[in-house]
Amino acid sequence: SKATVSVLNCSIRRDSLLPPPPPLDMASNSDLDKHIEKLKKCEIIKEADVKSLCKKAKEILVDEPNVQVVYSPITIVGDIHGQFYDLKELLRVGGDVPDTNYLFMGDFVDRGFYSVETFLLLLALKARYPDRVQLIRGNHESRQITQVYGFYDECLRKYGSVNVWRYCTEVFDHLALSALVENKVLTVHGGLSPAINSLDQIRTIDRKQEVPHDGAMCDLLWSDPEDIDGWGLSPRGAGYLFGGDVVHQFNTHNKIELITRSHQLVMEGYKSMFNDTLVTVWSAPNYCYRCGNVASILELDEHLQRNYKIFEAAPQEARGIPAKKPTPDYFL
């Protein structure tokens, strides 16, 4: 029995020498900082870390309303589409997180080469700085679309299974459908819907689902402005075309000054329509690595004054692709 007592005493003394575990928040932030550091180098994180990151992000996003309340100053960003090095260029031009508040209007994935790293970096920044980074859903944040346009295949190629794609698409279902800056600027990925006259009708949508093929939620993510009167059929096969009279009526009814949206390539980076009551912001320069367009971000200051910052694709040497070296003479 004496031996037993000494062993117990020894174990008690040894435990008392261990430092107390850090608070959960501190441990979590430390992990997130490591993930952000790694993802900023365009390196993927482990599958288990993706799973925990997505869980953390869902816990934050589930409490956000369909019309997320946002305050100025804020920088509004359009489509990124997996163009990771152009996202880094965007953060260089606009200011890094958490020094700058960002609102991303969706379409983080598909088409580009680095959808995994792009979405996970944005998600890690959201989890680490939830009040500084706002993410709303685009039409490409969808199971069906990502199986066609690249994100599904990229997850499979980089992780060897579809688990990461599943974790990310669950996060998609939790993303807000829109955001309202200072009750004056509505941001949405696509546009308006004939089924929605008021912001309260957006607030009542059950968003935690795959993007439907039609209806109000679908329209918010798929519709486009056009120089027409009223509503028109969309050539995309989803959503609608809507004219300046529709925007005027919606903005007046909801006391809104501006609608910002993305969803359409704009060669000049942004396009203002309907007497400056709607603007398309496009943030993927040289889209699909071949379109030759510039990109933009929209800065709104404390008084909602607008400043568009134009930027070009990241230079080749910043893309992590080794430059071609001249062939040595003896091979010629």
Catalytic residues: 140
Q: Which region holds residue 104: left if phi is over 0, alpha if psi is between -120 and 50, else beta?
A: beta
Strands 270-273 and 278-281 come out as: antiparallel
Do β-strands 224-225 and 231-233 pair in parallel, antiparallel, or remain unpaired? Answer: unpaired
Here the tokens at position 247 are 């925007």
Distances (CA, A) of 10 to 7, 18, 113: 5, 13, 56
Q: Which residues pair with 104 in a beta bridge?
A: 77, 135
CA distance 188 to 257: 14
Q: Is the dihedral of CA 306, 298, 259, 175 positive or negative?
A: negative
Work out the angle at residue 236's Cα, subtended by the Cα atoms of residues 102 and 109, and round it to the nearest 5 degrees.
Answer: 35
Class of residue 120 by CB neighbours under 10 A (exposed 0-12, middle 13-18, buried 19+):
buried
How many residues are recorded in the chain? Answer: 332
Q: Is-contact 164 50, C-beta < 8 A? A: yes
